[in-house]
Amino acid sequence: MNEITRIHIAKVAYDVEVGAKKELEKYFKQLKVALDDEDIVNDIELRVVELLAERGVTAGGVITLADVEAVRDTLGAPSDFSDEDVELPVGEKRLFRDTDGALLGGVLSGIAKYFGVSSLFVRLGFIVLMLVSFGFAAALYAVLWVLLPPTKSAADKLLLEGKVANARAILEASQDKVAAKTPIFALALRIVFAIMAIGAALGVVLLVTGLSLQALLFPSSNIMHGIDEVYRGDWITGGVVISGLVFLVVFLSTIAYALIRGVLNTKITAIVATSFILGLTSVGVYGGLIYADSQRANQAIEASTSTVNRPLSGEFKSINTLDITTNSEGGFDNYVNYVVSDDPHYELKGLNSAKADITVDGTTAKLKLNAGKLPSLRRGYYPGTTLTIYGPRLSSLSINGQQSNLSVSYDGKVSKSLNINVVNGNSVSIMGSYEELNVSGGDATVDLGSARVRNLVVDSKQNLKVDAGVVENLKVTQPNVCGSSEGSRETYVQVVSVASGNVEYNGQATLTQSEYKTGCAKLTIGDENYVSNNE
């Protein structure tokens, strides 16, 4: 049995056979004589540790004579070193962070040397990748910075370039090595990024402070416009938001520290990774809470809505005028669609509390739509109340809803005439074909773009907006007195074309021109898109 003793190689302790130790000490002594450079010998010792590890001999393991011979065969004999130029053999490549050519962490410089290309091209490519990946490339850089080992010795630098790390190659690499200095540009870049990280961290600190103060002092207010979770009774979601922001502060502050010091050790890496993972977890929890809250809200809305079908009385068949008024406490959109039909009835889709009260007085039907009140919910989507009425063709339609979010649509098919009056911020869309169509009202919108109108008459009050296609004849009355805050941008009539050229504007017959103005309103005739498509 061979006698075992101890030896240290590059400060790593091993057990070693006595014969193997003598051969190894003899080899290192010959190297010191041949090279006459302690630093180069130290690099070779690091390479010996790597070669032993490749043979399965790690710290505390037993080095045999066979291991020593294998190491010596790989590195070469000390007598092989001479001043003659010898081409270095090509070996296996390993990816490292290049600490010599680093601007930040040496990741890009290491990739450039690994593939044998200029680091300038790699850095330019990384900048482009940063722009198109919306910052994902920065996260990838950070991951590679953590995962890739730095070049600590001449042997590491040789392996990075794919050169066999034998004693001769280590000697030449060491002779070519210059004193490492941090480039001024790299230092400036680190400082800039550090300042940005510090600024971002301070911004997040201020945001956290503001959210906390808002939650404590104004628990029922919503001053954050989008972060509406920090309310009284919603501390769980608010706490998740605050904790996520705190993790972000830790993440940014640690990165700033690493950039300023120019180091990335195990402790810093652990803090960065932990804060990043916990921050992502906070985002995931926040998203889950928001999703669950939205699902509950949608379920509550669905439980509060229904569709009701009701027949209309026989008297409804004789009407030709519809007067619409509405009342809604929820502030949501409401829709009334009128469909010409021989079967009078209506379909109401909305809240369970919504009601459509329709009364008939001779040829006039009066509709009072109460859209109901939506449950108090922060989230969820309610599309609004929709009432569809089926009845006879109309000659007059009046919309007096007491809100600014009622939309009415009517398709008269082929009709002789139709009178429309709309006020109070509501809107109406007309389809069908009409010999004459009269529009009046104010503070409303009338869309005639899908209607075919022979004679169009508009009696406009302030803030009435009318859009129409090609008409035969046009008569428009618009206000010429208005307040200083009102103007033609709010009161206008837009017509694609007047086929006959007969236009009457504010009581005066005139030849067709492209624009008429009163100072308070405007009539525009012509549409560039229509003209270009019909030339």
pLDDT tens digits along 204-250: 677 767 766 665 665 544 444 444 443 434 667 767 777 877 887 78
Whether the predicted model's global pTM rises above the 0.85 cut: no
CA distance 36 to 33: 5
User: What local confidence, expressed as pLDDT, does residue 181 receive?
Assistant: 47
Which residues, at least 6 apart from 348, have a Cβ–Cβ distance to it below 8 Å? 307, 308, 309, 310, 354, 355, 356, 385, 386, 387
Distance CA 361, CA 323 (A): 11
Look-up of token digits 């090279």: 35
- pLDDT top residue among 271 and 75: 271
Same domain flag for 318 and 294: no
Q: Give yes or no: residues 275 and 332 share one domain.
A: no
Q: Do 262 and 313 reside in the same domain of the chain?
A: no
Assess whether 343 and 265 both reside in one domain.
Answer: no
Burial class, 243, CB count within 10 angstroms (exposed 0-12 / middle 13-18 / buried 19+):
middle
Residue 179 banded pLDDT, cuts 50, 70, 90 = very low
Lowest mean pLDDT among 9-18, 82-91, 349-358: 82-91
Q: Are residues 383 and 483 in the same domain?
A: no
| Residue 176 lies inside a defined structural domain of this protein | no
Q: Is residue 191 in a domain?
A: yes
Residue 439 lies in a domain: yes
40 contacts 170 by C-beta, under 8 angstroms = yes
Residue 530 domain-assigned? yes
pLDDT at 449: 93
Q: Are residues 492 and 514 in the same domain?
A: yes
Given 284, 302, 320, the domain boundary residue is 302
Residue 20 lies inside a defined structural domain of this protein: no
Domain stops at, among 283, 302, 321: 302
Domain membership of residue 474 (yes or no) is yes
Q: Please report whether residue 285 resides in a domain.
A: yes
Over 50: is that where the pLDDT of 83 sits? Answer: no
Q: Are residues 340 and 377 in the same domain?
A: yes
CA dist 437 and 419 (Å) reads 6
User: Domain total for the chain?
Assistant: 3
Give the range of the structural domain holding residue 430, as residue numbers without chain letter: 423-535
Q: What pLDDT shows up at residue 54? A: 82
381 and 449 part of one domain: no
Same domain assignment for residues 436 and 530: yes
What is the C-alpha to C-alpha distance for residues 307 and 352, in angstroms, rounded to an integer?
8
Do 337 and 287 share a structural domain?
A: no
Segment 345-367 shows an average pLDDT of 92
Residue finishing a domain among 257, 282, 302? 302
The mean predicted confidence, pLDDT, of the chain is 78
* Residue 292 falls inside a structural domain: yes
